[in-house]
Each structure stands twice: as structure tokens, then as C-alpha cells.
Structure 1
């Protein structure tokens, strides 16, 4: 049991990565669309590149969305709405007429004429002025349980009542009573026909639902297309119908499990490629569980966002700012990893999006442009300029695809340019997202490095106050290291910041370090070499503690840990040997580790050269050259760069830069005559 727990503890990193791998694969399979993938890839306007295709089963020819929408629009325009006829209204109005009539007239003939007018008016129906009527000529009039079709012109609007009354009375020679009759009718007449919205909506929906989405059937064995034929017109529609029918049938019965198994294999293969890339080219990232988790989280977030867009509307897939992925990975790691992960993610998304070839081509090109253009994110204008270039590439590539497919610009959807513009605006969210990721995953970007390089920051200000000599030394090392990093293509900003903080541990015992001794008194003269060596070695441990207390990123702490590697405090070791020849050298050795990146190796070389350069009595070209060669060769011989991914050629380049910079620093002016 104890051995088993020990093995688990020893392999916890591997166990975690395996668990992450499995969880990511399961989540990706869940996000993938539950539909099969048609085994033929075709595009409108392009030749059919496969063998002659025959119908594998009977299937219907589907109408296009435009055709179905046109039929629905025609159904809406031809639809005859339903109006309800209220038969009780006429009885109520005539009753009120008989009651009010004696107050206006006493003549029986006039009473009969008015009642006849009301009966005739209400026979077809009286409708309010604000009641809508259809564009079509007829309406369906519902009287009780019967429905009849009526010419809408036979209905009388309330606003037409006066004219209709005057025409009626004029026919009967009763024009003298027009005003009195109108005043009477105006007070009692009410509409008896109104639109029945519920019944009309129900009937319209039934008509729309009855519209067929198919226009014929292809029988099994019928030839669909020959090799080399251009996919267009009816052939394109038949192929699209076969694709839809094929994909809808795949996820039935045992096919479901086979397709799931296929998805698992492909996703596993993609993630395996990612792990192999990290193992071969970025082992320091693979060893860090947080960084590996960060990469997988970003991939899953992009797949999730694209899945949501596709489910809502396939055309919105271009609004998803996929180029945020390479921007973020480049900001935290390097361009090569950013492009590799971006391409891998785009290939996975090819299973989700429509027109997968176009999408993959478009996004890979955009990703390349992102890697090539986005740089120095701490400069605010750079991101805006890069996003503008990315958006322009999206638009140009989409335009080219449309021209190839359609052969003209008649069907070009200009609205998609607006989607690419929205994509660009969403890509600008990379800046705040980088800040969020820094807090969530403890990573550091160039933006944070720029903030840390401010000499007015709390820690550097404290260093300049407590150990001004060390502060000046750190600035000199930063200048040397930054120039060397630029020469070999390392992260110059990271190197500069690491160099500025590498000696902060000297603040605890500043006076014990030569650069801070201004009085000529050396406190090491009062203590033993062993104690002196321990104070010197402890500045590394003290620096790490101070850095963690002040929440410096781990990437900066790495410079504090490695800037002396596993070298010895040689001066005090030799001094102690004079007192005790059997002195153990390990007691005078820094705890390490040795540098494990180009950046930490550069700072080690720059620190050693700058510190030792103070001992040069007569600096000249030859002395500086021999001096730098001696120090760096000694570090190489001690195996300080064995774990750093820096080549001998790059070390030679670093040495040249250090020699040039030191020559500039120590170059003596010509002596001017007095």
C-alpha cells in the first residue's frame, strides 16, 4: 500500500496529464455535432473529383432555403384571413333604433326606411375604420359555425356610413332627412365584423406547415453525377439532399457508437500530436501542469464558442474570434506554439462548421497573419493595427471564395463583411483576456513585464534605497542581457525584467556585497570565510522569498534561482582552503538549479561578466576579450548550460555582444591638452 501511494505521488504529474487528456477528449466529443460526416467533399462550381456516384438508397430532393422561403412568402401574400360576423349586433342596434326613433321622427314610412337601411348595411357587415383588411380581394367570413368567402369591397367601413346613408335616402327621395338620420345612426351603430387573429394565425400556420420541403425523389441506383462533371444547378441540389439524408441516417442504431468511436480516435490523435510537440520542442511547458491546462482550456473554449454559433446560425461562425487563440498563446509562450495549437484547433473545428474546407483555409491564413503581425502587445496601437490586418485578410479571402463559387457578384452577401468586422472587434478582447488569464493561471505576458520593468515599482525602489550599488549593477546587467537576447532572438523583455530583479535578495545584507560598500570597510574581514560564503549564497534564497512575498511571477523568480546556477563562492572557498585544506566544496556551492532556458543562461553570463568587469584595472580590447572568454568558458566547463536550450553558436553571439557593450562602457576618451 505504501509503495503504491509512493508511486502515485511520484507520478502525479503524469496522472494529472492523463486525466486532463481524457477529460478534454470526452468534452470535445460531447461538443461535436451529433450528425455523421458525409464522406464526399464537394463545392459548387467545382468538378466532381470522385468516381461516378449512384444513389445508395431512395431519398427526396430537398428544396433550398430560398425556395421554401419564397413559397412561404407567396402563401402569406395569398392567404385569406378570417373575420368574425357578430349576428347579435344587428338585433341590438335595431332595438336601440326603435327606442330612439320617436325622438327624431313620427312618420311610419321613415321608420321602415331607416330599419331597412340598417338591415341592408348589416347583412354583409360593418367594420371599424382601424380594422385591417388583407391585400387580397376576398376574406373568410365566419357566421356561427359556417364560413363563407366574401368580397371585401362589400364590407362598409364606419367612415363610409354617412355616404352610404345619403345615397340610400337619395334613391328614395328622402334627402331632406339626411342629417337627422345620420345623427341618429351615428349614436347607435356599432361594427359587427372584426378580424379573428387566433383563427387566422392558426390557419396560416397550417398552410405554412403543409408546404413541402422536397421536390421529387431519387430512386436507389440512379446516377447522380459523373467524375469530372461540374457541381452546379440540379446536381448540386441533389448532392446536398443526399448529404443531408446521409448524415441524418448515420446516427441511428449501432452506427451511433461507431461514429462516437471514430470521433474519439481523431480527437485523441490531435491531442496526442499536441503532447508530442510539447515533448519534443517545448519540454519545459509539458512539465508545467498549469501551462498544459491553460492550453487545453483555450482550445475547448474556442470549440465551445464555435459550437454555440453553429447551433444558433451557421453563418455566425465567422463572428467567433478564433484569432484570439494564437494572440494569447504568443503572448504567454511563443509564435511557433501559438500557430501549432491554432492549426490543430481549426482542424478539429472542421468537423463542426459548414463548408469546412473554406473555413479551415480561411482560419489558418488568418492565424498565420496573426502570428506575423501581432507583436509587442504592451504597445496599445499594435493590437488595433494587427486586428485591422486580420479583418482585411478575412474579407479578401471570403471575397475570393465567393467569386470562385458563384462566378459573379450577384449573390455576394455583403452582410458577411459586417460579421468579419464584429470578429475584429471581439478579437480586441484579447487584451483584457490576457490580464484575466494572468490572474487565473499565474502566467506572465509582455504587458506585465513592462509594468514590472518600471524602476519606480515598490520592490525596485526599495532595492535602489537599500542597495544602490546592487541596483546600478542590476541595470547594467539588464542592458547587457537585453542586447544579447535581441541578438539571438530570445525574449528580450523577459530577460531585461529578470535581470533587474535577479539580485533583490542582497537587500537583506547589502553591506556584505562589494558594490554597496562605500566607506572602505569590509565586514567580511570580521567573520570567517564560511560565514561570508553563507551570507553570499543566502542572497539567492532571500531573493526568492522576497519575490514570492511581493507576488512576482514564477518566470521572474526563475532568474533569481538560476543566475548563479550551481557555481561556487570561489573567493571564500579558496580563502577557507588556506585554513583547512579538507574543506568540502559543496558547502560553498549555490543551491541552483542551473539555467534551463536561453533567457536565464543569458542573464547568468551577463551577471558574471558585469560583476567581474569591475576588477579590470586597465580595460582595453584585448583584456575585455580575454576576460569574457575566460568567464563564459568556465561556466560552460562547469556544465551550467547543459539544461538550457542555447547552442554554442548562440553563446558565441552572446559573447560578442558582451564584449562590444563592455568596450563601449569602458572605452577611454582621448586625453585632451590642458
Structure 2
């Protein structure tokens, strides 16, 4: 049991990676759509490149979305519009009018025959107005057809809209029907009563109209024919268009709509699992072969896989909601994030693998994969120094433009012209670009969650007004100036060999923070002739000098500096000797143990940490040159860098001889510029 536990502890990192690998595979496969896949790829206007294709089963030919939309519009246009005739309003209106007219006629001195005639005219007017109805003003706009349907109780009749009385016609009609001009007082009074009391009784019946429309729409057929099993669909070389295209789209939809059944579920899951496992295996192999430092760091490996799962999950949700929105998803955030924390090559490699996996989820997979890979390449090539916001905005504009161009090209290939472009997709690409800008707050969130460091954080850390650098400037001003000089040298060297200049500059600013705890023991901070080392033995002095590494690391951790910056503090002297005090001890005692005067290491393990070691040593040594000449600087740089190479300080730094030569040239040039001789001004 003890042996098993020991083995587990020894191999816990590898076991964790295996668990992460298996868990990610199962999660991605679980997110994949539970439907079939059509095994052939085809495009409108292109020849069928496979063998003659026959129907594997009976299926219906589906109408295109355009045909269905056209049919819906036709039904909506021709669907009956119903208006409601209200009998209660008619009864109440007639009752009120006849009662008021009766009172007027009763008090009138008119002859009885005239009263009877007026009463008859009122009856005729009301019967005429309400024969088909008096329509409400707001319902007049609902009349769209030459014939409308009028509902009165259980009775339905179709009439011309012209038969309905409108408010604009009412007064003229009543005037024409009552009496003879000039009107008597009674006739005028009756006219006013009718005009005031008559109310509209016909209104648009929206609920019944909608109900009938829905019934009509529900009867739409989404198919337009049947294909029998073994019926020939298309011959090899035939152009995919017209009826052929409709049939192929129909059978493709039929395949994709088939949910995994019990009989084929295990086989399909096995196939997906193998393909996803291959993709993630390639990622692990890439990390193991080309990014060993990342491979050995479980946090960084988890971060990479976490981002892949996030992208797959996002696309899965969008496809389940509505697949037409897939281009809104900012997929290029993945390579952006990975480039910000690691490097461009890893970002692009991971992006390509992820896009290939997404091909199983999205429709039109070839178009999607092509667009996203091109966008990913543009992202990697255009964004540099992402901490500069202007660079990000410009890059997003370029990515969006590439989307536009690529989609336009795909459309004219498929449609044969530029008239049928889906302009809605251009809006999706714009939204995609806007969503991509969210990468900056996302990077900040990832930094806090995973303890990583990006260029944005490096920019903040390199601000000389930050708390730790202000303390360094106050407590050890000489060391602070030395750090600034080293930072300038290191940044220039990093730019020349395409290393991370922001990282090496930030590391250089903090590499000597341990000196601020005992600043007077370091010559650059000794403003007087008093040297405290004169009171110490060489071994004690060496230990104080060496301790600035350990104390610097402790101070950095206390102030929560990222590990990538702490690496510069640990490695900037590697395993070299505190040479001055080593020689002093040797001179004093006759011999000295090199281990007592050796820095604890480790040696630099990246280009950036190697650059800092060279720049730190060269800048410090340049102060000791009494007569600064070009030859003196050339000799100094060659001597120091070659000594570090001979001591094996760059064995783990992944830096080439060519890059070392370039760095030497940069250091020589910069030192000459710093120490150039000025003209002597007259007194």
C-alpha cells in the first residue's frame, strides 16, 4: 500500500493530466449534438464529386425557407379579415333616438301626417345606417381586401367594405334624408339627435381573425414531394442546384434530425470519442515537445483545456438556440487569450484544433472552419503588444474585415452572383468584433482565477509609480537607477531577437528588489566613502550579497508579484560566484570553497531570463570602466557573456548562438550611446 501511495505521489502530475484529458474528452462528446451526420459535403453550383447517389430510405423533399416564407406571406395577404356586428348597440341607439323623437313630436304643433312622415324618415335612416353597420374609425385601417367578413351572432356574411357607413358620411346622409330645405325647427332638432346618438357598431374582430389565420398557417405543408428508397438522387458530375439541391438538403436534414438510437448510440459515441481524443492528444504532444515548461505546469494545462471547453460550450448553446447566430460567437478570443498568457504559436495551434472540433457542431462546417481559421491566423499576425488598446481595436477591425471578405467570396461562389448576399451576417460579424473586445476584462478574470500574468498586468507592474518600485527608489536609489538601465538594455535586446520585451523589462525592474533591505551593502547605494564590508569577512560579505536573491523572492511573494516576475529575481545571477569576495577570501586565506560564494540558482530557463542575466552583469561591470571607449565596451561585453556561456548559465535558456551574437551587438551599441563623450563647454 505504501508503495502505491509513493508511486501516486511521484506521478501525481501525470495522473492529473490523464484525468484532465479523459474528463475533457467526455465533456466535449457530451456537448456534441445527439443527431446523425450526413457524410457528404456539397455546395450550391458545384459538381457532385462522389459516386451516383441513391436514396437510402424514403423521405420527403422539404421546401426551402424562402418558399415557406413566400407561402406564409400569401396566406397572410389572402386570409379573411373578420369584423364584428354588435346588435346591442343598434337596439340601444334606436331606443334612445325614438324616445327623444317621440317627445319632440308630441310637443310639436306639426300636423299628424307630418309627424308620421318624420317618424318614418327616422326609421328609414336608422335602418339604412345599421343595415350592414356603422364602422368604428380605428377599424377602418384594418380593411385590406375588396371583401370583408361580417359576423353578427352566429350569422356570417361577406360584403364589400363600401357598404359600411363611415363617420365622414354620416352627417351628409342624415341631411339628405330629413325633410326639405329649409328645415323646420323640429327637423333640425331630430337631425341633431340622430347625429349625436348614432354610435358605431362594427369593429375589427382581431382575436377571431388571428385564430383563423393560425389555422390556415397550421395547414401549410413543409414538404413538396416524396423520394422513394433506392431512387436515384444525383449522378456523379451533376451540378448541385435547383431540384437536386433541394433533395440533397432534405436528406441532409433527415440525417441530422435522427437522434442517436439505442442500436447505434455506442458506436457513434465511440467514433466521436476517438476523434476528440486524437485532437487533444495532438495538443498534449505539442505541449510535451515544444512547450515543456507549460506541460509540466498543471495550472497552465488546465487553463488551456478550460478555454477550449468554454468555446465548445458557447457554440453548443448558440446552435441549440438558433444556428444562424454562430458567427456572433467571438471564437478568436481563444488565440488572443493564449497569446496573451503564453505565445502565438500555441494560441494558433489550439485555435485550429478547437475549430476542427466545432466542425462537428455547426452547420456548413467547411465554411465555418475556413472562416474561423483565417480569422485566427489574422488575429495572431496582427495583434502585438495587446496591452496597447489601440492595437487591439485595429486588430479587431482587421479581423472583422477578413470575415466580410471571406463570407462575400463564399457567397458569390455558392450563389453565382452578389445579389443574394445575406446582409444580416455582416451585422453578426460586427457583433463578433465588438464581443472580441471583451478579451481585456476576460484576461483580468483569468489572471485572478489561475494566477497567470499577461502583458496587461506587466504594463501595470512596470509603472515606476507602483508601490514596490517607489520603495526601491526611496530606500535604494542607486539600485533603482541600475534597474532602470538594465530594463532599457534588456528591452532593446529582447526586441532584436523577438523575445517578450514587456516581460523582460518588468522582470529587470524588480530583479534587485532584495537589495532595498540592506541597501548600503551594495556599492551603487554608497554615497559616502564608508563601506560596511570593510568590517566583515569576505564570506560574510558574500552571504549578504547572495541573500538579496532570497530576500527579493520573499519580498516579491509578500507583495504578490506573479511567478513569471519572481523567476527573474531567482535566475538573474544563476549559479555564478560572488567573484570579488571569492577572490578576497582566496587572497586572505590562501584558498576558498566556491560553494560558499555561489548563488543558489537556478540558471536562466528562458530567453528573457538569459537576456536579463547578460544585461545585469554588463551594466554593473560597465560602471567600473575608468576610460569608457568603444574598444573597452566591446571587450567587456565579450568577456562577460562568453564567461557566462562557458559556465553553462544558458544551457536551459533555449537561446541560439546567433541570438547571443545579436544581444552582444545591442549591448555594445547601447553602452557606447550611454557613455558617449560630450564636448567640453567653455567656462
Asked whether 1:552 is paired with 2:561, we answer yes
| Number of the residue aligned with 1:95 | 95
| Number of the residue aligned with 1:437 | 446
Within 1, Cα distance between the matches of 2:188 and 2:318? 67
Compute the displacement of 1:198 (Å): 1.9
Alignment of 1:492-641 (within 5 A): 492-576=501-585, 585-616=594-625, 624-641=633-650
Deviates more, 1:70-79 or 1:606-615: 606-615
Query: Structure 1 residues 501 and 227, CA, compared in 2 at 3 Å: closer, same or farther?
Result: same
Asked whether 1:389 is paired with 2:395, we answer no
Q: Determine which of 183, 188, 205 is the counterpart of 1:196.
A: 205
| Number of the residue aligned with 2:109 | none
Query: Structure 1 residues 412 and 569, CA, compared in 2 at 3 Å: closer, same or farther?
Result: same
Asked whether 1:39 is paired with 2:39, we answer yes
Contact 1:44–1:231 (8 Å) recurs in 2: yes
Compute the displacement of 1:207 (Å): 0.6
Compute the displacement of 1:57 (Å): 1.0
Alignment of 1:23-38 (within 5 A): 23-38=23-38
Q: What is the DSSP-based 3-state SS (H/G/I as helix, E as strand, rest coil) of the residue aligned with 1:230? A: coil
| Number of the residue aligned with 2:110 | none
| Number of the residue aligned with 1:264 | 273
Contact 2:312–2:358 (8 Å) recurs in 1: yes
Q: Determine which of 289, 302, 323 is the counterpart of 1:293.
A: 302
Deviations 1:602-625 (A, max 9, x none): 111222233334444556556544
| Number of the residue aligned with 1:126 | 134
Asked whether 1:115 is paired with 2:120, we answer no
Alignment of 1:155-554 (within 5 A): 155-166=164-175, 168-169=177-178, 179-554=188-563
Within 2, Cα distance between the matches of 1:651 and 1:284? 22
Deviates more, 1:319-328 or 1:108-117: 108-117
Within 1, Cα distance between the matches of 2:583 and 2:6? 42
| Number of the residue aligned with 2:70 | 70
Asked whether 1:657 is paired with 2:666, we answer yes
Within 2, Cα distance between the matches of 1:219 and 1:167? 72
Asked whether 1:13 is paired with 2:13, we answer yes
Compute the displacement of 1:594 (Å): 1.6
Q: What is the DSSP-based 3-state SS (H/G/I as helix, E as strand, rest coil) of the residue aligned with 1:83? A: strand
Query: Structure 1 residues 175 and 210, CA, compared in 2 at 3 Å: closer, same or farther?
Result: farther
Contact 1:478–1:500 (8 Å) recurs in 2: yes
Deviates more, 1:208-217 or 1:487-496: 487-496
Q: What is the DSSP-based 3-state SS (H/G/I as helix, E as strand, rest coil) of the residue aligned with 2:533? A: helix
Within 2, Cα distance between the matches of 1:641 and 1:82? 88
Aligned residue pairs total 673
Compute the displacement of 1:512 (Å): 1.3
Contact 2:328–2:428 (8 Å) recurs in 1: yes
| Number of the residue aligned with 1:138 | 147
> Aligned-pair RMSD on alpha carbons?
3.0
Contact 1:129–1:159 (8 Å) recurs in 2: no
Structure 2, gaps ≥5 residues long:
107-114
Contact 2:319–2:326 (8 Å) recurs in 1: yes
Q: What TM-score do the two structures reach when normalised by structure 2?
A: 0.90
Q: What is the DSSP-based 3-state SS (H/G/I as helix, E as strand, rest coil) of the residue aligned with 1:104? A: helix
Compute the displacement of 1:627 (Å): 4.1
Within 1, Cα distance between the matches of 2:188 and 2:54? 81
Q: What is the DSSP-based 3-state SS (H/G/I as helix, E as strand, rest coil) of the residue aligned with 1:130? A: helix
Structure 1, gaps ≥5 residues long:
none
Within 2, Cα distance between the matches of 1:291 and 1:326? 15
Compute the displacement of 1:162 (Å): 3.4
Deviations 1:280-300 (A, max 9, x none): 111112222332233233323
Q: What is the DSSP-based 3-state SS (H/G/I as helix, E as strand, rest coil) of the residue aligned with 1:642? A: coil
Compute the displacement of 1:494 (Å): 1.3
Within 1, Cα distance between the matches of 2:545 and 2:472? 17
Within 1, Cα distance between the matches of 2:165 and 2:679? 113
Within 2, Cα distance between the matches of 1:668 and 1:196? 97
Within 2, Cα distance between the matches of 1:161 and 1:361? 69
Within 1, Cα distance between the matches of 2:531 and 2:306? 54
| Number of the residue aligned with 2:57 | 57
Compute the displacement of 1:178 (Å): 5.7
Contact 2:101–2:190 (8 Å) recurs in 1: no
Query: Structure 1 residues 184 and 498, CA, compared in 2 at 3 Å: closer, same or farther?
Result: same
Query: Structure 1 residues 665 and 86, CA, compared in 2 at 3 Å: closer, same or farther?
Result: closer
Deviates more, 1:576-585 or 1:211-220: 576-585
Query: Structure 1 residues 658 and 91, CA, compared in 2 at 3 Å: closer, same or farther?
Result: closer
Query: Structure 1 residues 163 and 16, CA, compared in 2 at 3 Å: closer, same or farther?
Result: farther
Contact 2:121–2:177 (8 Å) recurs in 1: no
